[in-house]
Structure 1
Amino acid sequence: MKIALCHLELSCGPQERNLQLLEQAVRLAAEQGADWVLTPEAAVQGYYFYYVNKNAVVAPQPSPELEPLRKLCREYGINLFLGCGEYDAACDKSFNSCLVFGPDGELIGRHRKLFGECLGAEAWARKGDSFTVLPCSGLQTGVLVCADLWFPEFYEGTKAQGAEIIVDMAAWPPTQVCGNPLPAWINASKVTDVTVIVCNQTGSPQWMDMNVGQSVVIDSGELKLAYSGESAVLLFDYDADAKCVQSLAYDVHYIK
């Protein structure tokens, strides 16, 4: 199977622009034969949307604005892992989530970020409370959001729920404040003995230099693929039966 990572500049939005860019990237990935398409953390609104506009409204999801992306799922028969803030009226809380859509465009499930201090850029979001493992293309797929992959209790808990592969939507470059996440990601893959895929993002928002953020693929603790830099769709081949990466390098398609 072929997997695509949408390594894009999305952090400051606005949402309308982000959705247009995501549609462009997802279509490109699908046209290149991708079966799965991953996006970064908070790809729809932009990771720093709350800093840009503290009055921004977080809508229930999936909202009508996501229909073009869901249509692409149906048109090309892809699974889409979409980083997106969402409001849940049942508990009157907003969450930093990953929505997972199947080849029919319907929602397979969602993961709500487990780690959070409800501060800073994520002051709008509350913590999720459950592990997420979803059936995608015959693989039991563990889903995490960014810093979830730092904590053993989260990735080990996901593995214990039956995950055969783990995907993570990220907004995390190496920084002096937050450290370098790569060693933690490698350790997560080593401890769980599964492939870990991190879709990161790029850009130069005033709060953090994301240009050095890496999108990586790690097999059982061994770093196989890594990329940082300009906005691009990164494709690679994955053997779902052997559960290992086949590609020696990303197939990089830059987004203008």
Structure 2
Amino acid sequence: MLTIAIAQAPSDLADWAARMAWLEAHLPEVSAQGADLLVLPELFACGYFIGDQLQERAEPCDGVTAKQLQKLAQAHGLAIHCGYAERSGETLYNSAMCIGPDGVLLGHQRKLAIPPGFERNFLAPGDGVSLFEFRGFKIATLICYDAEFPETFRHVAALGAELVLVPTALGADWNWVAETMIPTRAYENGVFLAYANGAGQQGDMSFLGKSVIATPDGRELARAAAGPEILFADLDHALVAKAQARLPYLKDRLRLHLS
């Protein structure tokens, strides 16, 4: 069993210091609820809809955010999965890292598909997907738009992912994605899914909220409303094998003759 938490954080937190202060203030609650893993929204460390400031706030993968997450993860005895703007040389990526309760980097992922809009002015696409293991689960990260492609979800499920973490910055006019598409991704691959969105307003952008934790059979274990909220759910590892045996999409897709 893995206890997971999603922090649907307010999107208007001013800067890195304010965001880390918000996280530190809420970690005692998360820890008291017995969470093993906390998932934060897309680009949580710097803010999502910040335009040119993205270049100023980007940092290396071992920068101040990684160091602060190591400190907080060790202090509260849980893993923290956090989106941030990564600088590698002259290139910027929309990335996420997961720091374990011992302060060690468990996993790191760059966003694969850069959507239309301001992101394409600053960010390069990542290349490839890697899994990491934690508390007996094989875990993949797909960032926001990545999760809207059935191909990416099917790929990580075929690699053996049992839980997919999706930090996102979904706008208020994309309700169908959060309500219908995302739980379907869990169902059609027989995996757990944690979809972590922001809440409220940042500049001219309104965030939908509606973060969700979904099961391998498509049920919702927890669903947020529009405002800031922390979700909790217990994930039973046995449900993955049960769902994939009942609906063996991953095996039977190999029997299809499509040419």
Superposition CA RMSD, Å: 2.2
Q: Do the aligned partners of residues 64 and 56 (structure 1) sit closer, same or farther apart at CA in structure 2, a change above 3 Å counting? A: closer
How far 1:43 moved relative to its partner? 0.3
Aligned to 2:181: 184
Q: Do the aligned partners of residues 145 and 11 (structure 1) sit closer, same or farther apart at CA in structure 2, a change above 3 Å counting? A: farther
Aligned to 1:74: 74
Count of paired positions: 238
Aligned to 1:7: 8
Please give the alpha-carbon distance, in whole angstroms, between the structure 1 residues aligned to 2:109 and 2:196. 15
Please give the alpha-carbon distance, in whole angstroms, between the structure 1 residues aligned to 2:94 and 2:108. 10
Kept in 2, the 8 Å contact 1:61–1:86? The answer is: yes
Please give the alpha-carbon distance, in whole angstroms, between the structure 1 residues aligned to 2:227 and 2:48. 18
Aligned to 1:61: 61
Aligned to 1:171: 169
How far 1:86 moved relative to its partner? 0.7
Q: Do the aligned partners of residues 158 and 32 (structure 1) sit closer, same or farther apart at CA in structure 2, a change above 3 Å counting? A: same
Aligned to 1:215: 211
Q: Do the aligned partners of residues 27 and 72 (structure 1) sit closer, same or farther apart at CA in structure 2, a change above 3 Å counting? A: farther
How far 1:68 moved relative to its partner? 3.2
Q: Do the aligned partners of residues 73 and 241 (structure 1) sit closer, same or farther apart at CA in structure 2, a change above 3 Å counting? A: farther
The alignment's TM-score, normalised by the length of structure 2, stands at 0.83
Residue segments in structure 1 that go unaligned for 5+ positions in a row: 245-256
Identity of aligned residues (%): 23
The reply to whether residue 133 of structure 1 matches residue 131 of structure 2 is yes
The reply to whether residue 228 of structure 1 matches residue 225 of structure 2 is yes
How far 1:121 moved relative to its partner? 4.5
Please give the alpha-carbon distance, in whole angstroms, between the structure 2 residues aligned to 1:129 and 1:207. 31
Q: Do the aligned partners of residues 222 and 242 (structure 1) sit closer, same or farther apart at CA in structure 2, a change above 3 Å counting? A: closer
Please give the alpha-carbon distance, in whole angstroms, between the structure 2 residues aligned to 1:184 and 1:50. 28
How far 1:200 moved relative to its partner? 1.0
The reply to whether residue 40 of structure 1 matches residue 51 of structure 2 is no
> Which deviates more, 12-21 or 147-156?
12-21
Please give the alpha-carbon distance, in whole angstroms, between the structure 1 residues aligned to 2:202 and 2:57. 21
Higher helix share: 2
Q: Could you list the per-position Cα deviations for residues 180-200 of structure 1 after superposition, in whole angstroms to 9, with x for gaps in the alignment?
A: 213221221121111111011
Q: Do the aligned partners of residues 121 and 22 (structure 1) sit closer, same or farther apart at CA in structure 2, a change above 3 Å counting? A: farther
Aligned to 1:116: 114
User: SS at 1:209's partner residue?
Assistant: strand
Map 1:77-96 → 2, pairs under 5 A: 77-89=77-89, 92-96=90-94
Aligned to 1:251: none
Please give the alpha-carbon distance, in whole angstroms, between the structure 2 residues aligned to 1:137 and 1:238. 11
The alignment's TM-score, normalised by the length of structure 1, stands at 0.84
Q: Do the aligned partners of residues 241 and 76 (structure 1) sit closer, same or farther apart at CA in structure 2, a change above 3 Å counting? A: farther
Tell me which structure has the larger Cα radius of gyration. 2
Q: Could you list the per-position Cα deviations for residues 139-184 of structure 1 after superposition, in whole angstroms to 9, with x for gaps in the alignment?
A: 1011111111100111111111110111100111441xx5621322
